[in-house]
Chain A
Amino acid sequence: MTTMTKPGEFAEDAAPAASDAFLSVRDLYVRFSTEDGIVKAVDGLSFDLERGRTLGIVGESGSGKSVTNLTVLGLHNPATTEVAGEILLDGQELTGASNRTLEKLRGDKVAMIFQDSLTALSPYYTVGRQIAEPYVKHRGVSKREGRERAIEMLEKVGIPQPRMRVDDYPHQFSGGMRQRAMIAMALVCNPDLLIADEPTTALDVTVQAQILDLLKDLQQEFGSAIILITHDLGVVSNVADDLLVMYAGRAVERGSVRELIREPQHPYTWGLLGSMPRLMSDVTEPLTPIPGAPPSLLSPPPGCAFHPRCGFTDLVGGGRCATERPELPDGRGSACHLTGEQKRSVFIETIQPRLG
Chain B
Amino acid sequence: MSNDISLSKAPAAAAAGEPAGETLLQVSGLTKHFPVMGGFPFKRQVGTVQAVDGIDLTVRAAESFGLVGESGCGKSTTGRLITRLLEPTAGTVSYRGQDISHATRKELAPVRSEIQMIFQDPYSSLNPRQTVGTIIGGPMEINGINPPGGREKRVRELLETVGLNPEHFNRFPHEFSGGQRQRIGVARALALEPRLIVADEPVSALDVSIQAQVVNLLQQVQREMGIAFLFIAHDLAIVRHFSQRVAVMYLGKIVEVGDRDSIYQRPRHPYTHALLSAVPEVELEGEERERERIRLAGDVPSPINPPSGCRFRTRCWKAADKCAVEEPPLIRLAGAEEGHLTACHFPEEPTIAARDEDIVMDPALAALEDVSDRPQ
Contacts and interface: CB of A to CB of B under 8 A. Distances in A.
Interface in A26-85: 60-61
Interface in B324-376: 362-365, 367-369, 371-373, 376
Contacts of B298: 174, 176-177
Contact of A217 (B211, B280, B296, B372): B372
B229 interface: no
A3 B295 CA distance: 15
A96 B365 CA distance: 40
A234 B209 contact: no
Interface string A274-290: 11111111010011111
B240 A205 contact: no
Interface string A150-186: 0000011110100000000000001111001000000
A235 interface: yes
Contact of B282 (A174, A206, A261): A261
Nearest to B69: A204
A287 B241 contact: yes
Given A217-B372, A281-B241, A286-B219, A238 B212 contact: no
A18 interface: no
B238 to A, nearest CB: 6
Contacts of B260: 283
B364 A280 contact: no
B365 A210 contact: yes
Contacts of B264: 279
B71 interface: yes
**Interface residues of B: mostly helix, strand, loop or mixed?**
helix
Interface stretch (B14-22, B43-51, B109-117, B270-278): B270-278
Interface stretch (B1-9, B124-132, B283-291): B283-291
Nearest to B362: A210
Interface string A192-225: 0000000000001111111011100110110000
A277 B373 contact: no
B208 A275 contact: yes
Contacts of A278: 237, 281-282
Contacts of B372: 2-3, 6, 217, 220-221
B80 interface: no
B299 A276 contact: no
Contact of A205 (B279, B283, B367): B279
A238 B295 CA distance: 15
Contact of B284 (A61, A217, A231, A262): A262
A289 B213 contact: yes
A105 to B, nearest CB: 27
Given A204-B70, A206-B274, A206-B296, A231 B285 contact: no
B219 to A, nearest CB: 7
B209 A60 contact: yes
A55 to B, nearest CB: 17
B344 to A, nearest CB: 17
B173 interface: no
A276 B237 CA distance: 8
Interface in B97-144: none
A283 B240 contact: yes
B299 A177 contact: yes
A158 B275 contact: no
A293 B177 contact: yes
Most buried by A among B215, B241, B371: B241
A150 B285 CA distance: 43
B241 A283 contact: yes
A272 interface: yes
Contact of B299 (A174, A262, A274, A281): A174
B96 interface: no
Most buried by B among A157, A204, A220, A286: A204
A232 B264 CA distance: 21
A246 to B, nearest CB: 13
A333 to B, nearest CB: 19
A233 B282 CA distance: 7
Contacts of B296: 206, 210
Contacts of A277: 215, 237-238, 240-241
A343 to B, nearest CB: 15
Given A206-B275, A214-B364, A289-B211, 20 more contacts: A60-B209, A158-B362, A176-B298, A204-B299, A205-B279, A206-B300, A210-B295, A217-B365, A217-B368, A235-B280, A262-B285, A272-B208, A276-B212, A277-B237, A279-B281, A280-B287, A283-B240, A287-B212, A287-B215, A290-B209
7 contacts: A206-B70, A209-B280, A220-B372, A275-B212, A281-B237, A283-B241, A293-B179
